Amino acid sequence: MASTERAAGPSVAAVDFLKVTEQAAISSARWLGRGDNHAADQAAVDAMRATLGEMPITGTVVIGEGQKDEAPELYVGEVLGTGGMECEIAVDPLEGTSLVARGDSGAIAICAIGEPGGLMPAPDIYMQKLVVGATAKGRVDLEAPIAETLDVVARCYGREIRDTTAIVLDRPRHRDLIEEIRQAGARIRLIPDGDITASLSVAVRGTGDHLYVGMGGSTEGVITAAALECLGAEIQARMAPRHDEDRAKMAEFGMDDEARVYGTRDLAPSPLYVIATGVTDGHLLKGVRYFADGARTHSIVMDLVGNTVRFIDTVHLLSPTIIREIRL
């Protein structure tokens, strides 16, 4: 975006994008506990794409559901909107499809908006990640042993290691990492899915989470970085190719240094807004709650342009009939 445009501010505000994640959450939450990952995800994708398509933007998807030959909607390179503010879009319409299918906690719908060139395109491969909140920002090192990192984080919070909590995806690949954290004496919260959600929880004080570490998707890492930039937190990350096919994907994106550590601003150089809505209850956001002819959502709207972070509780009246009462 040209500097004169940035000075004047984008023509579409952060809160205008709130309906994008709200509609995705409301649609996908209908599939809570019904055992159908695909249906829950498709509902979120359809709702998010339709809502973005109605907005006065010229938005190019840089992180989405896959390449054009892999995904019919929200594919990388798809241009959405009715025309207007030029921007880049990174989305995860439903982070935690299996969480919704099982009726488990921690699923969200999330969308990041950046200036043109403001969000790093990334191959869909594994990425090693380390996330800390603003309290420990600039004090940790992805290359350091995890015990050392835990000690640093604990001292930043003015507590013992035993009083800190690390979040790790519950995967066989993290067996050694989990054992090292246990030996260091920290508490661990093992999660089945949702490392964006976990990173947001680490970035906000009061959730009881202090560190996210482990390997997850690189595309999720870009969305995470945009959110952490808004929250004053930090991600350090490194691509983790498993085989030659992953290395070929990296090469397509001009990445040839497997040892390179990416910081928050490398992954998200110029984010504008990040909006997330809870689909199922989590540490940070409540899930969608339905009532007769309506629904209630809980969202976070992170606005780097306006320097605000809003938690928004919205009652959606889904029927033209008169609502008799609204509850707190």
Q: Is residue 287 domain-shared with residue 259, that is, in the same domain? A: no
Q: Is residue 81 domain-shared with residue 194, that is, in the same domain? A: no
Domain CATH for 18: 3.30.540.10
Q: What is the mean pLDDT of residues 141-160?
A: 98
Task: Using the predicted structure, report yes or no on whether residue 149 has a pLDDT greater than 60.
Answer: yes
Q: What is the extent of the structural domain holding 130?
A: 126-269
Q: By the 8 A CB rule, do 228 and 199 touch?
A: yes
DSSP assignment string, 22-38: HHHHHHHHTTTTSS-HH
DSSP assignment string, 274-289: EEEEESS--SSS---E
Asked if residue 204 is part of any domain, the answer here is: yes
Amino acid at 218: S
Outline where DSSP puts E strands in the chain: 57-63, 79-80, 85-95, 108-114, 126-132, 165-169, 187-191, 211-217, 234-239, 271-278, 289-291, 294-303, 308-317
Q: Is the dihedral of CA 200, 206, 207, 208 positive or negative?
A: positive
Q: What is the mean pLDDT of residues 34-58?
A: 97
Nearest by Cα to 186 from 209, 203, 218:
209
Confidence band (pLDDT; 50, 70, 90) for 322? Answer: low
- What per-residue confidence (pLDDT) applies to 293? 82
Q: Is residue 104 domain-shared with residue 224, that is, in the same domain? A: no
**Using CA atoms, how far apart are residues 140 and 150, in angstroms rounded to an integer?**
9
Task: Using the predicted structure, report yes or no on whether residue 66 has a pLDDT greater than 80.
Answer: yes
Q: Is residue 70 domain-shared with residue 135, that is, in the same domain? A: no
Confidence band (pLDDT; 50, 70, 90) for 68? Answer: confident
What distance lies between CA 15 and its chain's CA centroid? 17
**Using CA atoms, how far apart are residues 281 and 276, in angstroms rounded to an integer?**
13
Q: What is the pTM of this model?
A: 0.93
Q: Is residue 243 domain-shared with residue 263, that is, in the same domain? A: yes
| Count: domains in the chain | 2
Task: Using the predicted structure, report yes or no on whether residue 291 has a pLDDT greater than 90.
Answer: no
Q: Percent of the chain, pLDDT > 70?
A: 97
262 token code pair: 């990416």
Q: Is residue 255 domain-shared with residue 278, that is, in the same domain? A: no
Asked if residue 247 is part of any domain, the answer here is: yes
Asked if residue 110 is part of any domain, the answer here is: yes
Q: Is residue 55 domain-shared with residue 171, that is, in the same domain? A: no
Find all residues with CB under 8 Å of 173, minimum gap 6, and list them.
Answer: 215
187 token code pair: 């508490």
Asked if residue 322 is part of any domain, the answer here is: no
- Dmax over CA atoms of the chain, in Å, equals 61
